[in-house]
């Protein structure tokens, strides 16, 4: 993230109402990590922008009842870093980002999701939210009521599962080609963990 882009984000974050408590978390190698609390809705979130060299960050919103702030921070950092590498390996003009909502998805209110959308909106397109664990199309549609920076929110588009599955199969085939000289799975035992 360039310094002018980062400064613009800081100004936009400062402009959010006093309802929000936002803190930047400094970590080497990350464009920016921000925690967000919105007491009125119960929102507790962390947004991590790992690398924006190739373009704005796209990454899923994960909703999970983390046992601590440190666990949530570690997860969002690892996930955003992985998104940077995945996008670069695929040759996409996007950077790596991720966000986590520290809650059980069943207890997440529409008010909290819209507050999260306002938080995302302050980044002016430097982070584009998408579906992940605990967040479905209906949750993305709530977030989208407060920001345009959401991908995969339409039921017509559907979820990313088929693309993830295709990527796993493609990765297996490339690995087999490298190791055995053929991408065929015939006669091979393959374990998938994740």
- Tokens at residue 35, please? 């925690």
Which is nearest to 129 in space by CA: 111, 112, 117? Answer: 117
Helix (H) or strand (E) holding 58: strand 57-64
Helix (H) or strand (E) holding 15: helix 3-15
Alpha-carbon gap, residue 58 to 127, rounded angstroms: 6
Q: Please identify which of the residues 98, 107, 145, 188 carries the catalytic annotation.
A: 98
Assess whether 86 carries a catalytic annotation. Answer: no
42: left (phi over 0), alpha (psi -120 to 50) or beta: left
Per-position b or e across 33-51, b if 16+ CB within 10 A of its CB: bbbbbbeebebbbbbbbbb
CA dist 117 to 84, 113, 186, Å? 22, 6, 47
Q: Which residues are catalytic?
A: 98
């Amino acid at each position: 993230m360039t310094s002018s882009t980062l400064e613009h984000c800081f100004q936009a974050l400062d402009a959010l109402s006093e309802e929000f408590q936002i803190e930047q978390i400094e970590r080497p190698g990350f464009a920016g990590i921000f925690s967000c609390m919105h007491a009125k809705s119960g929102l507790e979130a962390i947004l991590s922008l790992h690398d924006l060299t190739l373009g704005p960050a796209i990454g899923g919103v994960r909703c999970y009842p983390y046992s601590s702030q440190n666990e949530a921070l570690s997860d969002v950092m690892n996930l955003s870093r992985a998104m940077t590498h995945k996008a670069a390996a695929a040759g996409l003009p996007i950077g790596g980002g991720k966000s986590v909502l520290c809650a059980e998805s069943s207890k997440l209110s529409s008010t909290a999701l819209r507050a999260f959308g306002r938080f995302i909106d302050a980044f002016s397109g430097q982070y584009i939210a998408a579906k992940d664990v605990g967040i479905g199309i209906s949750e993305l549609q709530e977030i989208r009521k407060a920001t345009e920076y959401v991908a995969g929110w339409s039921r017509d588009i559907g979820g990313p599962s088929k693309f993830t599955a295709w990527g796993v199969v493609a990765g297996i085939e490339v690995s087999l080609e490298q190791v055995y000289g053929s991408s065929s799975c015939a006669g091979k035992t393959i374990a998938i963990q994740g």
